[in-house]
Structure 1
Amino acid sequence: MKITRIEAIPYAIPYTHPLKFASGEVQTADHVLVRVHTEDGIVGEADAPPRPYTYGETQVSIKNVLEEVFAPHVVGLSVFDRSQIHAVMRRTIHNQVAKGALDIALWDAMGKALKTPVTTLLGGWTDSMRVSHMLGFKPAQELLDEARHFGEEYGITTFKLKTGRRPLSLDIEACHVLREGLGDDVDLYLDANRGWTANEAMEVLRRTEGLGLSLLEEPCDAKEAMSRRRLVEKSPIPVVGDESVPTAGDASRELLSGGCNAICIKTARSGFTEAQEILGLCTGLGVDVTMGNQIDTQVGSLATVTFGAAFEATSRRAGELSNFLDMADDLLAEPLQIRDGRIAVRHVPGVGAAIDEDKLTRYRTDR
């Protein structure tokens, strides 16, 4: 099972409408399909979603670091030599999305070689995950209409509201309108994408008290260390680290310093291997985890389901799995289905993300 080639294919698929949030706006999924080829003819695959405005990675940087920096030291190793491969990747600081995609592609190849679903290799806790849908920057009534549609169409009962706007009243109004319109049985939580100061976040919490909001994700910049600590101490609900905790080391720092008291795991930036390390820290410290979304395609969302369904702790909360519905198309040969508010794992060897080669030819941007 020696690796013979690492391939990074840039492609672009438009969204049906611009997606807006505190840290940026996207109109096209400019992603990279990562393939690990082996001497046995097995190919492991994964999707890499660059987020330049958040992590600094681009299609070009992901392709270059994979093919020019990692590949010369990884080609010739077995896909099962994960510790050696991760030692190669650790020499390069950052580039988390490139590393995460390579790791998932390795797990996909291992699952195919062993004729076993990767979710089973990871833990095999359950066979599906509940879905949380993310609501972007829109007027309050439009947000309510969107949430009702996703509830009626897909059975979704958990919604993450993208916040971090100024004036604060825009987000506060949206919280009240959504709770009144959706009722108490729907789970609502907030994600400010570093858009507020800690004091602004505390004001929002004060003015939404009694609405039953369950989480507050990444309210302010990680560099505001002391104010974040003060916010966590005073917040009546868990404060979730996201962009501030891309690695296991970052998660340790934020949890132990009081910068957050819950963690968002994103397989797109941690792969499956480091995601396990982060999950172990969280379960050991007794803090909640959520499975996040990096505006993933169906390929990326399936990876999240594969990991999230493998463990009890990651299955407790709904995973952010529905953003692929905002895309005009996808590369997955067999589209994902949301039924009764859940997405099922695929009981096939590997991750189960078979690619439609005709679509890849149509959307790739390097030819």
Structure 2
Amino acid sequence: MNQILIESLTTQIVDLPTIRPHTLAMHTMRKQTLVIVRLRCSDGIEGIGEATTIGGLAYGYESPESIKANIDAHLAPMLVGRPAANINAAMQSLDKIAKGNTFAKSGIETALLDAQGKRLGLAVSELLGGRVRDSLEVAWTLASGDTGRDIDEAQQMLDRRRHRIFKLKIGANPLEQDLKHVLAIKKALGDRASVRVDVNQYWDESQAIRGCQVLGDNGIDLIEQPISRVNRSGQVRLNLRSPAPIMADESIESVEDAFSLAADGAASVFALKIAKNGGPRAVLRTAHIAEAAGIALYGGTMLEGSVGTLASAHAFLTLKQLTWGTELFGPLLLTEDIVTEAPQYRDFELHIPRTPGLGLALDEERLARFSR
């Protein structure tokens, strides 16, 4: 039997409109930009992947433009002509020629998994060890920046049974203003919902000491990355004294970071993101480190579109426990999509198909319309 080879690996940058401006501490998103990866194999099967960042270079070290350039110039040439079914060998070859570039590698690993799943007639979750659930609870981020508007939005989500976990983006405003904003929303929602905050590293340690105390004492369930990822000793101190659990997000730029954070006791919850670890297989290595250390898990997002969201979901389906749910709402933030059938959200959860691969197909007309 002839070996199945990778014939081509191509990328497209896609700009999609969002339902509203999405305000983070470091950036306000008015659209979302995806890099779509297409892997064509000698048996005629195509795998699709996605690499997505938040706010260009405002969040991390890769941008859509750098992802595309590095895949086209460096990563794709390494893979063309290699066996398509040996995902392990393919990804190890990329690690040899390119340091970091985890977002780009995640898009490629996703495409390899999608192709292999289609080839074998298996969902990606089965390639990753086997799912132990079919759906994932999904949080919604309230990021309009307006207290009244955020309360109205949350109440609508609860009434529609779409979300009952809400994360608030804070840090860009003065501390007392942010605390007032969060506590007003928690008071309005009461016990109907879980309310959490994401500071995106924007507090210094002195602000975080007060902020974490006030938030924890007033029913806020989780505090994400309150201080800089480089202040490891500060993270350890906060984790020891905060009445609310501290979650590491930006602190985890790699699987190795996860091990170091666990060893230092710098967080009690890890946010899992396939883009920051290098793919669905890679993020499970971080998850297993956390599980061994007794650290709770949360399925994070880079606000990916449907392709990246389902790639994350297939990995998260295999985990023993996701104590804090997931944040896989990226497709719901978009007014347009590039797949033929959108992911299914109902009764507070994302429901993931058992169809081969990711379970998605690209809509070529829409893809062409929104490609740069």
Offset, 1:120:
2.3
SS at match of 2:136: strand
Alignment of 1:154-233 (within 5 A): 154-233=161-240
| AA in 2 matched with 1:338 | Y
* 1:352 and 2:355 aligned: no
Listed as ranges, the matches of 1:70-89 within 5 Å are 70-89=75-94
Displacement of 1:318 in angstroms is 2.1
Aligned mate of 1:343, from 350, 353, 356:
350
Aligned pair partner of 1:119 in 111, 125, 130: 125
Task: Supply the AA of the counterpart residue of 2:185.
Answer: L
Q: Could you tell me which residue of structure 2 aligns to residue 362 of structure 1?
A: 369
Secondary structure at 1:313's aligned position in 2?
coil
**CA-to-partner distance for each residue in 1:204-251, whole Å, 9 max, x for gaps?**
122224332221111111112222221111112221111110211011
Aligned to 1:19: 22
Letter aligned with residue 77 of structure 2:
P
Contact 1:132 1:318 in 2 (8 A): yes
Q: Quick one: distance in 2 between partners of 1:323 and 1:151? A: 18
Q: Distance in 2 between matches of 1:301 and 1:83?
A: 22
Q: CA RMSD in A?
A: 1.6
Gaps of 5+ in 1: none
TM-fit CA distance, 1:358: 0.7
Amino acid at match of 1:117: A
1:3–1:76 Cα contact (<8 Å) kept: yes
Question: Any idea what SS the aligned residue of 1:193 has?
Answer: coil
Q: Which residue of 2 aligns with 1:9?
A: 12
Alignment of 1:166-315 (within 5 A): 166-270=173-277, 271-314=279-322
8 Å CA contact 1:119, 1:345 repeated in 2: no
Amino acid at match of 1:61: S
Which of 33, 37, 49 lines up with 2:36 in the alignment?
A: 33
Give percent identity, aligned residues only.
Answer: 26
Separation of aligned partners in 2, 1:329 and 1:245: 31
Distance 2:245 2:110 in 1: 29
Question: What is residue 52 of structure 2 aligned with on the other side?
Answer: 49
Q: How far off its partner does 1:23 sit?
A: 2.1
Q: How does 1:96-111 map to 2 (within 5 A)?
A: 96-111=102-117
Kindly report which structure 2 residues correspond to 1:142-153, keeping only aligned pairs within 5 A, or say none. Answer: 142-153=149-160
Cα 1:131–1:103, aligned 2, differ >3 Å: closer, same or farther?
same
Q: Which moved more, 1:90-99 or 1:355-364?
A: 90-99
Q: CA deviation at 1:6?
A: 0.6
Give deviations 1:16-66, integer Å, cap 9, x for gaps: 322111122221212110011100111111111134211121222111211
**Following TM superposition, by how much is the alpha carbon of 1:137 offset from its aligned partner in structure 2, in angstroms?**
4.6
Kept after mapping to 2: 8 A contact 1:7/1:35: yes
Measured in 1, the distance between the counterparts of 2:83 and 2:253 equals 26
In 2, distance between residues paired with 1:130 and 1:260? 22
Counterparts of 2:302 and 2:356, CA distance in 1: 25
| Cα shift at 1:301 | 1.8
CA contact (8 A) 2:103 2:276 kept: yes
| 1:59 maps to 2:64 | yes
Q: Which moved more, 1:75-84 or 1:283-292?
A: 75-84
> By how many angstroms is 1:175 displaced?
2.2
**SS of aligned partner of 1:319:** coil
- 8 Å CA contact 2:10–2:72 kept in 1: the answer is yes
Are residues 50 and 322 of structure 1, via their aligned partners in 2, closer, same or farther at CA, if it must alter by over 3 Å?
Answer: closer
Relative to the length of structure 1, the TM-score reads: 0.95
Listed one character per residue, the Cα deviations across residues 60-101 of structure 1 (whole Å, up to 9, x for unaligned) are 211121121112221122233223222222232221110111
Name the SS of the counterpart of 1:159 in structure 2: strand
Q: Distance in 1 between matches of 2:344 and 2:275?
A: 20
> Could you tell me how far apart the structure 2 residues matched to 1:131 and 1:30 are?
22
The code of the aligned residue for 1:69 comes to H
Kindly indicate whether the alpha-carbon contact (under 8 Å) linking 1:301 and 1:321 is maintained by their aligned counterparts in 2: yes
Q: Identify the range of structure 1 (253-262 vs 342-351) with the bigger mean alpha-carbon deviation.
A: 253-262
Looking at structure 2, the residues matched to 55 and 106 of structure 1 have their Cα atoms a distance apart, in angstroms, of: 24
> What letter corresponds to residue 148 of structure 1 in structure 2?
Q
Once residues 211 and 79 of structure 1 are traced to their aligned partners in structure 2, the CA distance between those partners, rounded to angstroms, is 52
Distance in 2 between residues matched to 1:257 and 1:89, nearest whole Å? 30
Quick one: distance in 2 between partners of 1:361 and 1:139? 35
Q: In 2, Cα distance between the equivalents of 1:79 and 1:284?
A: 32
What is the CA deviation profile of residues 100-129 of structure 1, one whole-angstrom value per residue up to 9, with x for unaligned ones? 111111111111111011112222111111
What is the aligned residue count?
364
In the alignment, the residues of structure 2 paired with residue 243 and residue 328 of structure 1 have an alpha-carbon distance, to the nearest angstrom, of: 27
- For 2:240 and 2:89, the matched residues in 1 are separated by 40
| Cα offset, 1:3, TM superposition | 0.8
